Amino acid sequence: MKISEILNRQRNYFSSGATKSIATRRKVLIRFRESIKNNESAIIKALKDDFKKPVFESVATEIGVVEKELSLAIKNIWKWQQPKKVNSSILNFPSSDYIYYEPYGVTLIVAPWNYPFQLAIGPMIGAIAAGNTVVVKPSELTPNTSAIISKIIFEVFNPNHVTVVQGDKEVATSLLAERWDYIFFTGSVPVGKIIYKAAAEHLTPVTLELGGKSPCIVDETARIKQAARRIVWGKFVNAGQTCIAPDYILVHTSKKDALLKALSDEITRAFSDNPESSPDFARIINKKNFERLSSMLENVNIYYGGKLTNESLYISPSIVTDVTLEDKIMKEEIFGPLLPVLTYNSKEDVSKIIHSFEKPLSAYVFSRKRSFIKWFNASFSYGGGVINDTLVHFVNDALPFGGVGHSGIGSYHGEESFYTFSHAKSIVKKGTWLDIPVRYAPYEGKIGLLKSFLRWF
C-alpha cells in the first residue's frame, strides 16, 4: 500500500474518534503486552540473529523495559488522561481552570538499530496511550527484529490504528515527505537534522532522541574497583552500542594506573580472557560500523583488548590510553566497545574537555566528594546522568529521558511519554453569575484600579 494511502486511512480512523475511548486504548495495550510475552523467545532469537545480542541483555534491556512501560501505562492511563485542575487567576474571577490532554493525531516513529525492539515499541506505548495512531519504521539494519515487530503489530492492531512500514533511508524519506501530526525520532545527529527540517515544512512537532560524547569522570576520591565494575558494565553492554554509554573516561591523574588495572581486571572477570567466546558479549551491527570503529584504533595506544575479527564483526572490549582530542576516537561519538581513558589534574581541565564537545546525552561522575559533585552538576548541561554509576537513570520511569542541544529535543518514558504525545489544552471555565466591568472600554479612570490589581495578584 502507498504511504499516502496508509496515512489517509489512519487520518480517517483518527477523525472517526475510534482512538478516543480510554477503555479501548487500555484493552489494546493489554493485548500488546500479551503478544510480546507470547513472542518472547522469537524476539530473543531475532536479536541474537541480528547481532548476537546476549539473552540476558535482550530480556533486561529490550523486552523487560517495554513490558514495564506497558504495565505502567495500563495501570495509569485513566489517571494520566484526567484533566488537571490548576489554580485559577484572580484576574479571571470567577473561573475554574483546567489542562486537557488531547492526542495529536497521526504520528510517525522512526527507530534505530541499537536497541531495535525497545526503541521502536517504547515510544509507541506513549503514542497509543495518548490516543494517537502510529506508523512505526524500525531499522533496516536489524531485519530479524524488524520482522518480529511487524508480526506482533499486525497481530495486535488494526493497521488503520497502528502499523509498520519497513525499509531503509529511501522509505524513511518518503515517510518524511508526508504531513504528520507528530514525529518521534531516535537516531544519529545528522539524520535528526534531516527529520527536523522535514517536520518544519509542516510545522510538525518533534521529539528527537539523539546521541553525543557522554563523559565519565573518576575523581581521586572514587571507590576505584566499584567504579571500574560499573563503568565496564555500562560501556560494554550491547558491545558499547548504547546511546548513553560512557563514551570516554576522564580520570584524576593520581588514580589513572589504579583505574586502568581495575578496568582490565573487570573486563576479564565479566567476559573471560577471550570475550570472543563469551555468550555475554554482542557483535558490531554491520561492516560499515566495524570499519569505522577499527579505524579509531589506528595510531593509538591500546592498553587492553584491540582484537578485531572481520568475519564475525567482533571487536573486543578495548581500553585506549594517551589519546588527544585530535585523535579520531575523540572526534565523534564512539558507539562501540572502545574506551579511551584521558587524565585531568584540575577542574579547569575537566571543563575544557567537556566544553569542547556539544552538550552530551549523559554524564557520569564517580566521586565521594560532595563539593566536586555539586560543582559538576552546576557546571555542565547534559540530558541526564548518574552519580557513582552508569546508565541506571534510564530504568526509573519517573525520570524524563532525553537530550539537550545536539543530544536531542524533548523526552519520554513513563508518564512523560503520555504527555509527549499529547497536546496540553488550557481551558478557563468562566462563571456567568458575575461580570467585573474593569476591562471593558471605555477605559477612562480605570488605569489606577488596573495597576493595583496587577500589583496585588
Q: Does 216 bind ligand NAD (CB under 6 A)?
A: no
Which residues 108-137 are close enough to bind ligand NAD by CB under 6 A?
A: 110-114, 119, 137
Q: Does residue 173 interact with ligand NAD by CB under 6 A?
A: yes
- Which CB, 64 or 94, lies closer to ligand NAD? 64
DSSP 8-state symbol, 187: S
Place of cell 565479566: 270
396: contact with ligand NAD by CB under 6 A: no
Instruction: Show the binding pattern over residues 354-393: x = contacts ligand NAD (CB under 6 A), - = does not.
Output: -------x--------------------------------
**Phi, psi at residue 348, to the nearest 5°?**
-60, -40
Q: Which is nearer to ligand NAD, 131 or 384 (CB)?
A: 384
Q: Which is nearer to ligand NAD, 101 or 364 (CB)?
A: 364
Among 6, 172, 232, 249, binds ligand NAD (CB under 6 A): 172
Among 34, 40, 155, 168, the residue binding ligand NAD under the rule CB under 6 A is 168
- Which residues are catalytically annotated? 209, 243
Residue 140 in the binding site for ligand NAD (CB under 6 A): yes
- Does 166 interact with ligand NAD (rule: CB under 6 A)? no
Residue 402 near residue 411 (C-beta atoms within 8 A): yes
**Beta strands 248-252 and 301-304, pairing class:** unpaired
Stated as kind and residue range, the H or E segment containing 156 is helix 143-156
Kindly report each contact of residues 145-148 with a partner whose C-beta sits within 8 Å and lies 24 or more positions away, as own/partner: 145/43, 145/46, 145/47, 145/50, 145/116, 145/117, 146/116, 146/120, 147/46, 148/39, 148/42, 148/43, 148/46, 148/117
Tell me how far apart the alpha carbons of residues 183 and 196 are, in angstroms, rounded to a whole number.
9
Candidates 77, 210, 218, 409; binder of ligand NAD (CB under 6 A) is: 210
Binding region for ligand NAD (CB under 6 A) out of 73-81, 123-131, 169-177, 275-283:
169-177
Per-residue CA distances from 74 to 21, 139, 282 (Å): 14, 27, 32
- Total chain residues near ligand NAD (CB under 6 A): 28
**Strand pairing partners for 401?**
412
Measured from the CB atom, the residue of 30 and 191 that comes closer to ligand NAD is 191
Chain centre to alpha carbon of residue 457 = 40
Question: Is 139 near ligand NAD (CB under 6 A)?
Answer: yes
Q: Cβ closer to ligand NAD: 117 or 344?
A: 117
Q: Which stretch binds ligand NAD (CB under 6 A): 3-11, 144-152, 208-216, 352-360?
A: 208-216
Q: Which residue number, 202 or 451, has a Cβ lying nearer to ligand NAD?
A: 202
Q: CB of 403: closest distance to ligand NAD in angstroms? A: 6
Distance CA 369, CA 1 (A): 60
Question: What burial letters (b/e) apply to 253-266, b meaning 16+ CB within 10 Å?
Answer: eebbebbbebbbeb
* DSSP code for 360: P
In the complex, the smallest distance separating the C-beta of residue 335 from ligand NAD, rounded to whole angstroms, is 5
H or E element, residue 320: strand 318-321
Site residues for ligand NAD per CB under 6 A = 110-114, 119, 137, 139-140, 168-169, 172-173, 176, 186-188, 191, 194, 209-211, 243, 333, 335, 361, 403, 408
